[in-house]
Amino acid sequence: MRDKARALRLKLAGVLPFLNEKQRRVLAAAEAKNYGWGGVQTIARITGMCRQTVYRGLKDLGKGNTSERVREAGGGRKKIGDQNPELLQALEELIDPATRGDPESPLRWTCKSVRNLEDALKQK
């Protein structure tokens, strides 16, 4: 069994650096499935992945998930404007008196620094 694990370690060490997150997860899951009993634990130890990552790969294999997305939709940090809708209006009120340049331009020039704007927003 040690020879099998050593061969698998060499194989994965050569391939994994070229794959994205999802591809690594699915390849590790396929190898764990092929390894048999104790495969998830062995693959997790060989690759340094968390066992949950390998289990997620097994779930992707079971679903036949062939989408191009690496992660599920809806992940990541939400935009601060969505979290606090009044923020944009408050920022506009602070910037408007100190704005320079063409008022029609989407690029706004202001004399206030980001830190000063941050402090003023915190006071509001």
pLDDT by residue (tens digit) across 74-88? 777 888 878 888 887
Query: What pLDDT score was predicted for residue 116?
Result: 82
pLDDT at 107: 67
Characterize 52-71 residue by residue with b for buried, 16 or more Cβ atoms within 10 angstroms of its Cβ, and e for exposed.
ebbebbbebeeeeeeeeeee
Q: How wide is the angle at C-alpha 106 spanned by C-alphas 104 and 110, nearest 5°?
A: 90
Tens digits of residue pLDDT in 28-73: 898 888 888 888 888 888 888 888 888 988 888 888 777 777 677 6
CA distances for 108 relative to 7, 80, 96, angstroms: 59, 20, 9
**pLDDT of amino acid 98:** 64
